[in-house]
Amino acid sequence: MSVVLIIEDEAQLARAMQINLRAHGYQALAAGCGADGLKLAAQHRVDIVVVDLGLPDMDGVDVIRRLRGWSEVPIIVLSARHASEDKVEALDAGADDYVTKPFGLDELLARLRAASRRSPAGRGAPTVETADFMVDLAARKAVKDGQDVRLTPTEWNILELLVRNSGKLVSQHQLLTQVWGQAYAKETQYLRVYIAQLRRKLEQDPANPRHLHTEAGMGYRFDP
Ligand code: CA
């Protein structure tokens, strides 16, 4: 079943889309702002993202840019704006398609079908193997020495975000806001605790990590 993430602040519209998509065989998640949407996208296997350009906390185009930092998931933009530069900006940022409000359900469903066809199964949910452990993003599990590693949901969410940004610095701010939420943006000690736990569970030598690196004062980086 395809999972559609709807990022839309008009609650009634979001609710109507959710009900209709479920009636047409989709699983539908909804977020009312960009930060919640990014968090859900990092936490769940999502096949298609539908994002409104006018969100209360950030521009939809920024949501697209941030998603594209680590995900190739098909993105369909919703907007009441008619200016063609908005469409161009959204497409340049990495959106795949565009629906102008008001739109009919049939049109949205057609765009979703087209987006699913462009989305090979398993895309955006790879398996990453290191010399010491394996992370299966689709199955949401980590395996070390042939054994499943028991991770708490928070540990998993941090690991997934790092693995999806493999080789790149993920800032403390990004980790805190996407894993815990906007209110936790400054709680960097949480990260130190959880990263230490992940190293104990995954690294061969937790004191000299080979895969979960600290970039002092900035953030963390996963290297396979
Ligand atoms: Ca809106």
| CA 161 to centroid of ligand 1, rounded, Å | 27
| CA 193 to centroid of ligand 1, rounded, Å | 37
The reported pLDDT for the residue numbered 83 is 67
**H or E, element range at 85:** helix 84-93
| CA 9 to centroid of ligand 1, rounded, Å | 5
Is the whole model's pTM more than 0.95, yes or no? no
| CA 188 to centroid of ligand 1, rounded, Å | 32
| CA 10 to centroid of ligand 1, rounded, Å | 6
The reported pLDDT for the residue numbered 139 is 77
Cα-to-chain-centroid distance, residue 15:
21
Segments of the chain scoring below 50 in pLDDT: 121-123
| CA 11 to centroid of ligand 1, rounded, Å | 9
The reported pLDDT for the residue numbered 87 is 80
Q: How many CB atoms lie within 10 A of CB 89?
A: 18
The reported pLDDT for the residue numbered 128 is 85
| CA 55 to centroid of ligand 1, rounded, Å | 5
| CA 24 to centroid of ligand 1, rounded, Å | 24
Q: How far is CA 43 from CA 37, 75, 91, 130, 213, in A?
A: 10, 17, 24, 21, 21
The reported pLDDT for the residue numbered 122 is 42
Cα-to-chain-centroid distance, residue 116:
17
Distance between CA atoms of 13 and 30, rounded to whole angstroms?
Answer: 11
Under DSSP, the state recorded for 177 is I
| CA 76 to centroid of ligand 1, rounded, Å | 14
| CA 19 to centroid of ligand 1, rounded, Å | 19
Q: Go through the domains of the chain in sequence order and give each one's CATH number.
A: 3-118 (3.40.50.2300), 127-222 (1.10.10.10)
The reported pLDDT for the residue numbered 37 is 96
The reported pLDDT for the residue numbered 34 is 96
Distance between CA atoms of 184 and 177, rounded to whole angstroms?
Answer: 6
Tens-place pLDDT, residues 4-22: 999 999 999 999 999 999 9
